[in-house]
Amino acid sequence: MRIAMIGQKGMPAKFGGVERHVHELSVRLVKVGNKVTVYSRKWYTNDKDGKIHGVTIKHLPSIRTKHLDAITHSLLATLDAIKNKSDVIHYHGVGPSLVSWIPRLFAPRIKVITTFHSIDRKHEKWGLGARLILKISEWTACKFAHETIVVSRTIEQYCRDVYDTQTTYIPNGASECRPTKKTDKIKKWGLKPQEYVLMVSRLIPHKGAHYLIDAYNEMCWENSIPANKKLVIVGDGHYTDSYVKRLKKMAAKNPDIIFTGFQTGKSLSQLYSHACLMVHPSDNEGTPISVLEAMSYGVPVLLSDIIEHREIVSNPKFLFARGDVESLKEKLKWLLCSDKEAGAKQIKINYATVKQNYDWDNIVLDVVEVYMKQILTPACEPVPAE
């Protein structure tokens, strides 16, 4: 099959859960015999076309603004994918699916698949106008695609209730991660193994970094956190400069809060490998890849109690009330100061969960099954009626 991936910022993945998803999926689709083209935005990666692990990388321009970057790139990528006679166009995210009517109308032979990664319109960074467009995009993701994939049971239920659409649940995955004993990359931040709490995320409001900074600051003032435990926040903003400034202002008087910016490769591997705990305080998620990766590295995770997190970790000892700083403090104190045995037991459970339910090699087979089912289905009307 000739498969076009559209909607992601690019490949190789530098940051972003959708980008990691597309990267891992595309490499494995090539391994099982498909031809995959990933459309990249020129600003995101090196703008030279080429191949990565057999995946064709094609750079196209975009209007790089908060509201026009994704849609302009998706439009150009769609036209190019049609011209190059793709068998499948796979849109990632509801926003890019806004142009999915084009192949349905003008190239009905091409099968259109959309992955609904998150309910983007609920993210605080968007204003009223953008939220209206994203609401329309949700409708297109559910109605124009031959099949809609969702990465969480919550989104599956949402599509059923709001758009009367039956979707296919295929979650994000995590590669098998082997912890490293090397520490050369983390020394530049003054970090030592097992002496820091980790958060890995884009710095955007719904990811909840402000809850974690508040909780950590209060614990420091109350002398209720071990003296050798720092807080390390890995990631940066994306069209959220004012929010990032707010976070750094909150942390300005605490030298034990460290912002590393975006990290990949060996640096990120070492940060995961030597953390004593990972916290993910998000208000809204799909299936968080950073959490799955931490679990694969054998790092205990403390999560907000949103449904998407409870799909991954069911033990209430490792969940805190969403948006509740006092609840977060209580669980942090318990995990950092008290029950080490419970943490060690949960690490084993987490690792088994990732291997059983979130293995990329199994996930890619499920995606191929979706493609093949649609390709073997006779063409019908260009755009399905409601």
Is the pLDDT at 107 greater than 50? The verdict is: yes
* pLDDT value for 122: 67
Q: Residue 33 in 3-state DSSP? A: coil
DSSP H or E stretch at residue 200? strand 196-200
Higher pLDDT, 216 or 377: 216
What is d(CA 114, CA 17) in angstroms, rounded to the nearest whole number? 16
Each residue's pLDDT tens digit, 180-210: 999 999 999 999 999 999 999 989 898 999 9
Higher pLDDT, 84 or 64: 84
* pLDDT value for 224: 84
* pLDDT value for 123: 65
Each residue's pLDDT tens digit, 248-296: 999 999 999 999 999 988 999 999 999 999 999 999 887 889 999 999 9
Q: Which domains does the chain have, with CATH numbers?
A: 2-173+359-375 (3.40.50.2000), 187-357 (3.40.50.2000)
Q: Residue 230 in 3-state DSSP? A: strand
Collect all residues with Cβ–Cβ distance below 8 Å to 340 and sequence separation of at least 6. none
Q: Tokens representing 15?
A: 């940051």
DSSP single-letter state for residue 56: E
**φ and ψ of 23, to 5 deg:** -60, -55
Q: Mean of the per-residue pLDDT values for the chain?
A: 91
Each residue's pLDDT tens digit, 38-75: 999 988 887 778 899 999 999 999 888 878 888 999 99
Closest CA to 159 of 140, 132, 133, 131: 140
Cα 336 to chain center, whole Å?
A: 27
50-74 b/e with 16+ CB inside 10 Å = b?
Answer: eeeeebbbbbbebeeeeeebbbbbb
* pLDDT value for 171: 93
Q: Tokens representing 17?
A: 């859960």
Is the pLDDT at 381 greater than 60? The verdict is: no
Is the pLDDT at 385 greater than 50? The verdict is: no
Beta bridge partners of 4: 37, 89
